[in-house]
Amino acid sequence: MGISSSKMEPRDPIYGFSYQPIEVKGSIHLPVTLGDDGNKVTQMAVFLVIDDLSAFNDVFRRPLIRKAKMMVASFSLHVKLPTPSGEGLMQAN
C-alpha cells in the first residue's frame, strides 16, 4: 500500500495456527468502510502489518466487530451491520 514504516507503531509478534511467532512490522489505524450500496458505515480499525504469505488479506478482530455492531454468520459467509441509512450486508463469493 506504500505506507511508510514511520507511520506505524511497534508491536509484539503474533502467533499463527502453528504457534510459531510471526514478526509484526507495526500497526496502523486506517478507516474501513463496511456495508453495501447505500448502506455503508466507516469505522477506524487497527491493522497489523506483517511480511509473510497468508491465505487472508485481512482478518476482522473482535474490537472492530464490536465497534461496528457486526453480526457474523460464518456458515453462510455474510455479515450484517447497522448503518445510518439501514442495514448493511457484506457477503463472500
Q: What type of residue sits at position 7?
A: K
3-class secondary-structure state, position 62:
helix
Overall pTM > 0.75: no
Predicted local distance difference test score (pLDDT) of residue 57: 61
| Phi, psi values for residue 50, rounded to 5° | -125, 160
| Residue 7 to residue 80: CA distance in whole angstroms | 32
- pLDDT tens by residue, 26-53: 999 989 888 877 888 888 988 888 887 7
Predicted local distance difference test score (pLDDT) of residue 58: 65
Span 14-25, mean pLDDT? Answer: 86
